[in-house]
Chains A and B, each alone.
Chain A
């Protein structure tokens, strides 16, 4: 069962690392968002440093995600990539339309990027579940 252990172990390690770097990115995002107001009173250099750290951790998370994808079983990788493709497309198309709403006076509220991120996350989740079901 050595091959199974290697594959399973590798997948577990990659998943844990992805979880850790994702958590780190969330924490640095919180620091960049709330640090200026609650920690260093909008001082310029700590604020810039906070954003740079957040970006750096985010890029590392992207690389770890890529490694996680490449270490996956080929069917799961196909399912994940298809879900990501649909999520990206929906994000792009809906995002642009959503951004237009306030400009063309169809709504009075400002579009928030968090709404788009939630939509993309939901679409991605549905995409993964439907992909898993399709190949059962």
Chain B
């Protein structure tokens, strides 16, 4: 069992989406801005439902937003 890590491109996708603010993304995903900050900072891995909501907010597939890396 290695060190699995979930990384994300949320910040980059936000900037690519006409510089969407964290508050806007939080509103679209039905969470608080603090949650978006924690996700972007890699301090919190969202639930599957929230991950899908974030991906839908950007109109991209889930794998474009979150990546799973199984460490050695």
Contact = CB atoms under 8 A, between A and B. Distances in A.
Please tell me the size bucket of the interface on B.
Answer: 10 to 19
A135 B29 CA distance: 18
Nearest to B39: A75
Nearest to A11: B32
Interface residues of A, number: 13
Contacts of B34: 73, 75-76, 132, 135-136
A95 B30 CA distance: 39
Contacts, number: 42
Instruction: State the majority secondary structure of interface residues on A.
Output: helix
B27 A76 contact: no
Interface in B13-48: 23, 26-32, 34-35, 37-38, 43-44, 46-47
Interface of B: 23, 26-32, 34-35, 37-38, 43-44, 46-47, 50
Interface of A: 1, 3-4, 6-7, 73-76, 132, 134-136
